[in-house]
Structure 1
Amino acid sequence: MPAGCTIWVDADACPVRAEVERVATRHGLRVVMVSNGGIRPSANPLVEMVYVPAGADEADMRIAERVGPGDVVVTADMPLAARVVAAGARAIRPDGSLLDARNIGEALAMRDLMSDLRAADPFRQGGGKAFGPADRSRFLDRLDRLVRG
């Protein structure tokens, strides 16, 4: 990972903000947490809080407009992940799964398929499995490896 890379966090409803901060502090990396508000600012000088207007995809648009090659984006949003991968950045989900040029198409297709299934069956609602300690641990490990190169 090149020096000076930034870790961008799609911070609204992100369950691993503290973990991002830990890894960034260990490696001396800048973090930009983008949110519609409601997230307490960090005292860490490496963490910048960016508050965008309320509205659909405002945080996603801010990140996609500013992310650059070599940056890392933490998001569960597949369309945002596709945009940042196209910009030369890498995306990691809060569960630790990595998204890159090899697998982003499949991830988008799966998202669209699940959306269609939920729309066709009103009883098939809700997300996938609950976020747990194993996901948090996997995220920490993979983000640390990702920023080390």
Structure 2
Amino acid sequence: MKIWADADALPGPIRDILFRAAQRTENQLVLVANKRLRIPVSRYVKFEQVRHGADVADGFIVESMEAGDLVITADIPLAALVVEKGGLALDPRGELYSEDNIGERLAMRNLMQELRSEGMKTGGPRPMDKRARQDFANALDRILSREN
């Protein structure tokens, strides 16, 4: 299983968890972003810089991934494409998207986007706190221990 990370908006603590997990499990981790990122020197960690533009990183990930790969993303439309292609999609707060829940998540995201475009304040995600980091680390460990 290869791990792909939609890294443009990925919080630093989540990147650090991914770096440690890739090293520990010897899974290949590929961070994809349109800006340069610092990554540790490791044979298991790779960086792919894509050109700037809407959904360029998403397109690169979907084209490059294979069924069974894991994609880390907070982008629900990207998660839907990953699930459709047979991959696993995990958000940075530890929620695993699946065929069972991605349709509902996508519909809710679209509704909130529509409300915001009409001027309604909808709030945002809760802060990336210690609990969110721990939820992500636990979910990642469960997935990787199933696969290795």
TM-score, scaled to structure 1? 0.92
Cα distance, 1:63 vs structure 2: 0.1
After superposition, give the CA deviation of every residue in 1:96-118 in whole Å (9 maximum; x if it has no partner). Answer: 01001111001101100111111
Alignment of 1:73-92 (within 5 A): 73-92=71-90
Match of 1:116 in 2: 114
TM-score, scaled to structure 2? 0.93
State the AA in 1 paired with 2:64.
Answer: R
Match of 1:32 in 2: 30
| Residues in 1 aligned to 2:24 and 2:102: alpha-carbon distance in whole angstroms | 28
Cα distance, 1:42 vs structure 2: 2.4
| Residues in 1 aligned to 2:91 and 2:67: alpha-carbon distance in whole angstroms | 18
| Residues in 2 aligned to 1:126 and 1:44: alpha-carbon distance in whole angstroms | 38
Counting matched residue pairs gives: 144
State the AA in 2 paired with 1:9.
Answer: A
Match of 1:12 in 2: 8
State the AA in 1 paired with 2:9.
Answer: A
Task: Tell whether 2:145 aligns with 1:143.
Answer: no
CA RMSD of superposed structures (Å): 1.1
Match of 1:62 in 2: 60
- Give unpaired runs (5+ residues) of structure 1: none
- Give unpaired runs (5+ residues) of structure 2: none
Runs of 4+ in 1 over 3 A off after TM superposition: none
